[in-house]
């Protein structure tokens, strides 16, 4: 399950470095706050950008014959999803990608909302041969595909979701009023949280609790009416039953709502200082419970690896930037490691069995908090991925990824965690990994 987090850009051919477009900046991106007075400077670890992959690929599959071409530079630092590389099973990949239209570059906001045509094909790993093909029209450049645990997948349409299979045959799955923007699923895929922009009032139809705190617009001392609202539905995936509906003004919402089978996690920050709390909010709107707390000089970023294991990154005031995996029951720490302060926009991909996790980041030339005016293309060294044993935190491989896709979709892990696929240049590189570490008890 792939997630993109505000927890957590080809411009280049494979192995190249970023050049040009120094005027392109992202002033609205989150900037890591400076350390509060009295906390003392944290230890700084600068991520080393690897020169090459730590393993040799077992298979290299050319993708130019499938119609793929490396995109231009207009998408960089905009977190658009132009590709999606996914394992159907251990032997087959589903590779889908943006088909260039030849249109001129637009502003970041306009480009994000532009429709794109996606070409999809099933690829046999051993032979490299392309199988069934399909084309989809996607209303924008946000994430459009989610793999299911049975080898099927969900693809986003303008007003809902279709379900597809390994032959790329699809059927209507779920539909709602308005425009579907994004979804999230828990690791067990029992629930879907679907977010649509719809016309109507902001009154909740099922439950009055808000999934995310949102500033309400005020006019003449009263709540101003809005023409479009964000409608958030929690849906049981098997039955399609909507168990909760909430509404909020359509503003700059994100898809950063990590969730497991019990509920979603909200991040709360004390008004002063650097103390943060993580709480579970149940899907039914009942009273939630505390999941954990931490001191961090930046907003902690988190993602579920399995239903009971949470991956958290934070900026410790003394130890520097840290990455930790912990149990959600008992909050026992499985492992913790140092991560580079010169990284941003992490993307997390996990194996379906939860035994392997890949963490992909952009590597900057300086520590992230130095970029108070936003990050430009010239500030980025490149993109890298590191694959961990989820049980122990042992790094089993690392690799550079070029061209850069800051919106993700260029890294996949097989269901068993024994294979990793990376889109590099005009080829898909597939790496064979040793068996993952499993404890004596049940991992999940």
Render pLDDT for 59-102 as a digit per residue (tens, 0 to 9): 999 999 999 999 887 888 888 999 999 999 999 999 999 998 65
Q: Are 436 and 390 in contact (CB under 8 A)?
A: yes
- pLDDT higher at 249 or 145: 145
Residue 111: in which H helix or E strand, if any? helix 108-112
What is the SS3 assignment for 108? helix
- Mean pLDDT score, 396-413: 95
CATH code, 116 = 2.130.10.10
Q: Which pLDDT does position 358 carry in this prediction?
A: 97
- Max Cα distance, the chain (Å): 67
Q: Which pLDDT does position 439 carry in this prediction?
A: 65
**Residue 27: band (very low, low, confident or very high) from pLDDT cuts 50, 70, 90:** very low
Strand partners, 382: 363
Q: Which pLDDT does position 50 carry in this prediction?
A: 85
Supply 250's token pair: 């359509």
Number of folded domains that form the chain = 1
Give the domain extent around 118: 2-214+223-432
- pLDDT higher at 277 or 430: 430
**Residue 21: band (very low, low, confident or very high) from pLDDT cuts 50, 70, 90:** very low
- The verdict on residue 439 lying in a domain is no
- The verdict on residue 65 lying in a domain is yes
- The verdict on residue 437 lying in a domain is no
- The verdict on residue 199 lying in a domain is yes
- pLDDT higher at 284 or 205: 284
Question: Which phi and psi angles does 65 have, rounded to 5°?
Answer: -60, -15
**Residue 2: band (very low, low, confident or very high) from pLDDT cuts 50, 70, 90:** very low
Please choose, from the candidates 172, 308, 300, 183, the residue with its C-alpha nearest in 3D space to the C-alpha of residue 234. Answer: 183
CA distance 317 to 240: 45
Q: Which pLDDT does position 84 carry in this prediction?
A: 98
Q: Which pLDDT does position 104 carry in this prediction?
A: 45
- The verdict on residue 444 lying in a domain is no
CA distance 278 to 299: 11
Lowest mean pLDDT among 78-92, 101-115, 302-316, 375-389: 101-115
- The verdict on residue 404 lying in a domain is yes
- The verdict on residue 442 lying in a domain is no
- Does residue 37 register a pLDDT over 50? no
Q: Which pLDDT does position 253 carry in this prediction?
A: 53
Neighbour tally for 392: CB within 10 Å? 15
**Residue 323: band (very low, low, confident or very high) from pLDDT cuts 50, 70, 90:** very high
**Residue 372: band (very low, low, confident or very high) from pLDDT cuts 50, 70, 90:** confident
Q: Which pLDDT does position 62 carry in this prediction?
A: 98
Neighbour tally for 172: CB within 10 Å? 10
Q: Where are the beta strands (DSSP E) in 6-142?
A: 59-62, 83-87, 92-99, 116-124, 130-138
Strand partners, 192: 185, 235
Please choose, from the candidates 328, 322, 360, the residue with its C-alpha nearest in 3D space to the C-alpha of residue 344. Answer: 360
Q: Which pLDDT does position 220 carry in this prediction?
A: 46
Length of the chain measured in residues: 444
Lowest mean pLDDT among 68-77, 163-172, 209-218, 268-277: 209-218
- Does residue 209 register a pLDDT over 80? no
Q: Which pLDDT does position 227 carry in this prediction?
A: 66
Average pLDDT of the chain, as a whole number: 81
Neighbour tally for 320: CB within 10 Å? 19
- Does residue 357 register a pLDDT over 70? yes
Please choose, from the candidates 180, 303, 287, 286, the residue with its C-alpha nearest in 3D space to the C-alpha of residue 243. Answer: 286
Q: Terminal CA-to-CA distance of the chain, rounded, Å?
A: 15
User: What pLDDT digit, counting tens, does each position of 272-286 carry?
Assistant: 788 999 889 898 777
- Does residue 203 register a pLDDT over 70? no
- The verdict on residue 398 lying in a domain is yes
Please choose, from the candidates 421, 426, 349, the residue with its C-alpha nearest in 3D space to the C-alpha of residue 57. Answer: 421
- Between the alpha carbon of residue 197 and those of residues 191, 217, 240, 259, the distances in Å are 20, 17, 19, 21
């Amino acid at each position: 399950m792939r997630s993109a987090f505000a927890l957590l850009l080809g411009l280049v051919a494979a192995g190249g470095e970023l050049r040009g477009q120094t005027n392109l900046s992202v002033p609205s991106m989150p900037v890591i706050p400076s350390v509060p007075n009295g906390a003392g400077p944290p230890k700084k670890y600068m991520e080393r950008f690897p020169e090459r992959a730590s393993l040799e690929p077992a298979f290299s599959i050319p993708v130019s014959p499938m119609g793929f071409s490396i995109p231009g530079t207009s998408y960089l630092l905009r977190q658009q999803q132009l590709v999606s590389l996914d394992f159907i099973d251990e032997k087959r990949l589903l590779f889908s990608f943006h088909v260039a239209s030849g249109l001129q570059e637009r502003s970041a906001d306009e480009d994000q909302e532009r429709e794109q045509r996606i070409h999809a094909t099933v690829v046999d790993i051993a032979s490299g041969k392309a199988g069934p093909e399909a084309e989809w029209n996607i209303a924008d450049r946000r994430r459009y595909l989610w793999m299911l645990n049975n080898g099927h997948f969900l693809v986003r349409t303008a007003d809902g979701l279709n379900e597809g299979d390994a032959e790329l045959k699809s059927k209507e799955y779920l539909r709602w009023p308005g425009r579907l923007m994004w979804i999230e699923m828990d690791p067990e895929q029992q629930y879907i949280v679907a977010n649509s922009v719809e016309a109507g009032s902001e009154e909740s139809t099922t439950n009055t609790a808000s999934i995310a705190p949102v500033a309400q617009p005020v006019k003449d001392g009263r709540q101003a009416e809005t023409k479009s609202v964000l409608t958030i539905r929690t849906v049981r995936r098997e039955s399609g039953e909507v168990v909760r509906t909430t509404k909020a003004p359509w503003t700059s919402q994100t898809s950063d709502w990590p969730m497991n089978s019990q509920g979603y996690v909200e991040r709360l920050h004390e008004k002063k200082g650097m103390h943060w709390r993580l709480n579970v909010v149940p899907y039914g709107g009942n009273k939630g419970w505390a999941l954990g707390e931490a001191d961090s000089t930046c907003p902690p970023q988190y993602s579920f690896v399995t239903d009971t294991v949470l991956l958290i990154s934070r900026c410790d005031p003394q130890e520097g930037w840290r990455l930790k995996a912990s149990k959600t029951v008992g909050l026992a720490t499985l492992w913790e490691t140092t991560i580079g302060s010169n990284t941003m926009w992490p993307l997390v991909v996990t194996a379906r069995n939860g035994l392997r996790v890949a963490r992909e980041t952009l590597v900057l030339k300086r520590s992230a908090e130095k970029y108070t005016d936003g990050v430009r293309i010239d500030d980025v060294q490149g993109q890298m991925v590191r694959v961990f044993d989820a049980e122990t935190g042992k790094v089993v491989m690392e690799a550079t990824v070029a061209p850069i896709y800051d919106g993700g979709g260029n890294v996949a892990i097989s269901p068993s965690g024994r294979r990793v696929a990376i889109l590099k240049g005009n080829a898909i590189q597939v790496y064979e990994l040793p068996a993952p570490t499993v404890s004596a008890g049940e991992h999940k």
